[in-house]
Amino acid sequence: MPVFSARALTCADPDLWIDGDRPSTLAGEAVALLAAAGDHGLDPGDYAAAALADLLATARSSGAGGAQAARELAATLPVALRAMLADLAFGRVDPRTIHHRFSVAPRAGFDPAAVLALACDRGSLAGAVAAAAPPLPLYRQLMHALAAYRRLADHPAWAQPLPPLPGASGARAGRLDPGQPWGGLALLAERLRALGDLPAAGAETAPAAHDAALVDAVRAFQGRHGLLVDGIVGRATRAALEVTPSARARQIALTMERLRWTPLMQAARMVVVNVPEYTLRGYEVVDGRIRVRLQMRVIVGAALDRETPLFDERMRHVEFSPYWNVPPSIAREETVPRLRRDPGYWQRQGFEFVGPAGAVDTVLTRGKLDAVVAGALRIRQRPGPANALGGVKFVFPNRDAIYLHHTPSTGLFARDRRDLSHGCIRIEDPLALARFALDGLPGWDDASLREAMTAGRSRTVSLPAPLPVLIAYGTVVVKDGRIHFYDDVYGHDARLDEALRRRRPPPLDRGSPAR
């Protein structure tokens, strides 16, 4: 971030902020907006909000120093406002420092100084703040959620931890099944009511057992936290219930920060994968509003060592009945050792060797496996029912060779945690995505799509126009008016949180009040 200077701002005219020798109405509005920066998940301290409020009080008084305080306000307010608008529009950290490689700047045309100057000219600043905030429905919904969870920060339901679950002993976590009694039922019910998962009716009576109403409430809670929805309170559900509203508020604020530099709505049609949610959506922007046209579960890269990178690119073609070129690292570490133990795996999987000049060889020998390890040959899997890419592959060229693809291992989509791949993204409903990607291209109805996916002969179809694909990361989502939380599966929230805590905002001005 640059060091902001009041002299560079159009609305640095003291007459805007001082009426006679007292602060103007605009000055009062400015101080209030800076104090409310926390509503956007920002830190009011970055804009000297408390010190400016003190100056405003002094300047409004009839005591000594009022005129000087008014002059200090006039010198500092436009600088603080511009800093806040810049943070709202662009974010407070460089996303590249925390493993985000987005190529499109979502607010590239936004000019904080010009927006502030227009607001000053109109005599009202609220419009400038609204213009700086990300123009996304999700952002506004998260603002309301942030306020709601902050209101719960001192709720007595989190004053003490839940007691051990039935059957817990030592390393055994225990679990609460439907119909069971438990000493923590009253506290559980209180938390679920506070979060809106359990209706307030009947709050005067403590439950005697994990009854039907509580089971339904637990199921609602589980559905909002990316957990297995079974109504049973086990280790994972208990851990999610123990997360305090303050911690959830911080999670919401981090998601709002990430929305400032995630390039959503960059085109009329997009495919977006949200990694922590394990979900893909295809959407269109119609009359300025997002219309979700498809949604499906996905499998992403394993958190331990195969993370799916975060970036945006453009899908350019769809490959039906694709070959799978086994990546060299997978061939060395997994495929070759498996083939040495079980040579029959070669024929069952439909593998073949490919030489540097493209020559194909289907005969398995130990020497050729050695050549694969040495990098002189590569292994390729032919199209067919065993192919790891299934019936279709969606290609958006990128430096990590990441793509979307079908998979024969469809049972994995039933898992609640789905970071299971080597980095590429497996999709649950390839037909729906193919239909969305090829929309408007003649000759591609469902029957022809299915035929191409099962033909056993590779065929590549170029898209009539490149389709933006965004691999994003949001651990908080609002769906059907309810907030949903997901695990920080790759630790990106933790990295962003640490980057924000380490950040030192630039000084507002030499004449600004000390913070």
For the stretch 453-512, pLDDT in tens is 999 999 999 998 999 999 999 999 999 999 999 999 999 999 999 999 998 887 775 344
| Whole-angstrom distance, CA of residue 69 vs CA of residue 361 | 83
Q: Which residue bears the tokens 């969305």? A: 436
- 265-490 matches 156-243 in CATH topology: no
Query: Which H or E run contains 76?
Result: helix 66-90
The dotted CATH code for 156-243 is 1.10.101.10
Residue 372: how many CB atoms within 10 A of its CB?
20
| Whole-angstrom distance, CA of residue 453 vs CA of residue 318 | 11
Q: Which of 384, 402, 404, 386 is nearest to 453 (CA)?
A: 384
For the entire predicted model, the pTM comes to 0.91
pLDDT digits (tens, 9 = 90+) for 60-109: 887 778 888 998 999 999 999 999 999 999 999 989 888 888 887 778 78
Q: Would you state the pLDDT for residue 509? A: 56
For the chain, give every domain's residue range.
6-135, 156-243, 265-490
Q: Among residues of the chain, what percentage have pLDDT more than 90?
A: 77
* Cα→Cα distances 174→213, 225, 502, Å: 21, 20, 39
Q: Would you state the pLDDT for residue 107? A: 81
pLDDT digits (tens, 9 = 90+) for 26-67: 999 999 999 999 999 999 999 999 999 999 999 988 777 888
Range with top average pLDDT, 92-96, 118-122, 187-191, 207-211? 187-191
Please give the mean pLDDT across all residues of the chain. Answer: 91
As given in the structure block, the two tokens for residue 39 are 């509503």
Helices (H), 260-365: 328-330, 336-341, 344-349
Superfamily of chain region 265-490: L,D-transpeptidase catalytic domain-like (2.40.440.10)
pLDDT digits (tens, 9 = 90+) for 401-453: 999 999 998 999 999 899 999 999 999 999 999 999 999 899 999 999 999 99
